[in-house]
């Protein structure tokens, strides 16, 4: 597998930093500037998927049990999912230093 992101030296770059590998934006961890993260109360979730429809990042998918959850690698913590959730199954909580 080719080197990614912070493994690349200046000598590895294509001319003009041209990207020759399609779709490699998925390697970009957009979740690293999140200040809040969604938490879920599955007993309230009706699996309607409205949160996934509204998510501007497109990073919410059902898990193995069918509950919708955000992929925190990409989730920017905007809170739109929590705002739009009919049943108030999603609560935003502060990210805290570990």
Choose the stretch contacting other proteins; rule: CB under 8 A; options: 12-20, 38-46, 47-55, 62-70. Answer: 12-20
Is 28 a binder of other proteins (CB under 8 A)?
yes
For residue 83, the 8-state DSSP code is H
Is 56 a binder of other proteins (CB under 8 A)?
no
Instruction: Out of 17, 26, 43, 64, point to the residue binding other proteins (CB under 8 A).
Output: 17
| DSSP run (H or E) holding 54 | helix 50-54
Question: Strand, coil or helix: what is 31?
Answer: helix
Q: Tokens representing 80?
A: 């739109």
Is 16 a binder of other proteins (CB under 8 A)?
yes
């Amino acid at each position: 597998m080719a080197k990614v992101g912070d493994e690349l030296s200046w000598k590895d770059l294509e001319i003009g930093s041209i990207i020759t590998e399609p779709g490699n934006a998925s390697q970009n961890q957009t979740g690293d500037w999140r200040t809040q993260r969604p938490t879920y109360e599955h007993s309230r979730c009706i699996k309607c998927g409205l949160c996934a429809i509204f998510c501007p990042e497109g990073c919410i998918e059902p898990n193995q049990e069918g509950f919708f959850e955000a992929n925190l690698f990409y989730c920017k913590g905007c809170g739109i999912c929590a705002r739009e959730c009919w049943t108030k199954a999603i609560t935003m909580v502060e990210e805290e230093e570990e």
